[in-house]
């Protein structure tokens, strides 16, 4: 059995991001409270806007931080698993009939197809990694 797993390149895990977010919220609320005690109430509005924007951005980041694509070949089975935005899709192919498409000149993806089924792969790879992955997978196909 041979498998390839491609992941998104994320600087922070969701738990690390949560710790950073909590520190940011505490700092922002502390500063806003200081201004409130000084008599500047308008700062609360800007703090609420800032924290809303940061929260939305961090939620989008967390939604995609764990994304991956996985290709697994075992005997005559080729299984593609994609986990994108907490939605998992699994497609199974037969290695004797599957076809790999070559990416176009400026594209970062390729397709695995068989009998009308088509899966897009490679969104987490650099272009030079893509060609070597296609060649390596192709060597396992019959």
pLDDT tens, 89-139? 999 999 999 999 988 878 889 999 999 899 999 999 988 889 899 999 999
Number of domains, the chain: 2
Distance (Å, whole) CA 52 – CA 28:
12
Range of the domain at 117: 2-6+67-138
What is residue 12's predicted lDDT score, i.e. its pLDDT?
Answer: 84
Give the mean pLDDT of 24-37. 96
User: Which pLDDT tens digit goes with each residue over 51-78?
Assistant: 999 999 999 888 888 899 999 999 999 9
**Same domain flag for 31 and 83:** no
Judgement on whether residues 83 and 111 belong to the same structural domain of the protein: yes
Q: What is the reported pLDDT for 29?
A: 96
């Amino acid at each position: 059995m041979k498998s390839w797993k491609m992941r998104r390149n994320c600087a922070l895990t969701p738990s690390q991001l949560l710790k950073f977010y909590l520190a940011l919220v505490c700092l922002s609320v502390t500063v806003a409270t200081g201004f409130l005690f000084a008599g500047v109430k308008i700062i609360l509005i800007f703090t609420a806007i800032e924290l809303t924007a940061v929260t939305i951005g961090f939620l989008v980041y967390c939604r995609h931080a764990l994304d991956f694509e996985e290709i697994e070949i075992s005997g005559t089975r080729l299984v593609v698993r994609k986990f994108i935005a907490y939605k998992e899709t699994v497609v199974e192919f037969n290695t004797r009939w599957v076809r790999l498409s070559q990416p176009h000149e400026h594209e970062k993806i390729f397709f695995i197809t068989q009998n009308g089924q088509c899966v897009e792969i490679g969104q987490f790879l650099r272009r030079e990694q893509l060609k070597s992955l296609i060649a390596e997978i192709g060597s396992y196909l019959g």
